[in-house]
Amino acid sequence: MSYARTIIQARDVAKELPMGAHVIHALRGINMDIYAGEMVGIVGPSGSGKSTLLGIIGGLDTPTHGSIAIDGVDITHMNEDQLTEIRNEKIGFIFQFFNLIPTLTALENVALPVQFARKSRHQPEKRAKELLGILGLGDRLHHRPSELSGGQQQRVAIARALANNPPLLLADEPTGNLDSESGATVMQALQDIRREGGTTVVIVTHDTTVARQTDRIMTLVDGKIADGIHINGR
Ligand SMILES: Nc1ncnc2c1ncn2[C@@H]1O[C@H](COP(=O)(O)OP(=O)(O)OP(=O)(O)O)[C@@H](O)[C@H]1O
Ligand SMILES: [Mg+2]
């Protein structure tokens, strides 16, 4: 496969967090390029900086040094409003604990980001129904999160992440809270999305079954990329 464009470019990204009299070096000079259409796994021990890195890539957090560009746009010094716009347009997030709104149905949870997106061409409810159908939840539209299994809730969260058709999907331990069968369903859904939509997918995971399904794996140790980049199975 040849990759046309860089969708994530990190240059010397560092994150220092003040902790009382000390400073925690959560990231220490990350350099990486991720190309449109790739599925990349980020692995590494607890506390190695995986979630911090994903947050910076996704514009939820800012680096203390270095620069980060998403789809050719430097987001390093953007203000909160600009970052919000980038997140709405370009990025879908999936978290370990689903983060669905408990009082809203599956349909309402997925429709919400479409309503927020200013430039959306979609009708929120129509788009939400379509996505939930694709994810095998066409018969669960009016269920609330508490009325769904873990795997079903995570598929609702994936549908929500895809609501505005972002080019980039960031997932932090998407199967971390699921049994292996639900985890496999969720991974299948991510593979399908990536194949059909050309979506770039970055997955932070502890799960070797998940990591093995990505195109390449980056290992973080102590805030640094430990081993360069492995091409998975190739
Ligand atoms: N808000 C914060 N204030 C201070 N230190 C923090 C903060 N957030 C994270 N850290 C520290 O930064 C380091 C990296 O944390 P991070 O959450 O990125 O790790 P991780 O690789 O995602 O770990 P895990 O696999 O346990 O989720 C850790 O040492 C953590 O204690
Ligand atoms: Mg983490």
- For 38-61+88-231, CATH gives 3.40.50.300
**What does the pLDDT read at residue 4?**
72
Question: What residue segments make up the domains of the chain, in order of their start?
Answer: 38-61+88-231
Ligand 1 centroid distance, CA of 177 (Å):
19
Alpha-carbon gap, residue 50 to 26, rounded angstroms? 9
Strand ranges in 54-148 using DSSP code E only, listed in sequence order: 65-70, 73-74, 91-94
Mutual angle of helices 124-134 and 106-116, in 10-degree steps: 130
* Phi (first) and psi of residue 145, to 5 degrees: -50, -40
Alpha-carbon gap, residue 138 to 169, rounded angstroms? 22
Q: What is the pTM of this model?
A: 0.91
Extract the tokens encoding 121.
């061409």
232's CB contacts (< 8 A; 6+ apart) are 41, 211, 212, 214, 215, 216, 217
- Residue 214, pLDDT > 70, answer yes
- For the segment 84-99, what is each residue's pLDDT rounded down to a tens digit? 999 988 999 999 888 9
Alpha-carbon gap, residue 225 to 15, rounded angstroms? 14
- For the segment 180-205, what is each residue's pLDDT rounded down to a tens digit? 888 898 899 899 989 988 999 999 99
Nearest CA to ligand 1 atom 19: 47
- Residue 230, pLDDT > 70, answer no
Helix (H, G, I), strand (E, B) or coil at 38: coil
- For the segment 40-82, what is each residue's pLDDT rounded down to a tens digit? 999 999 999 999 999 999 999 999 999 999 999 999 999 999 9
Q: For ligand 2, an ion, list residues with CB under 5 A.
A: 50-51
- Residue 233, pLDDT > 80, answer no
Mutate to test the pocket of ligand 1, among 23, 24, 202, 206 (most ligand atoms within 8 A of CB): 24
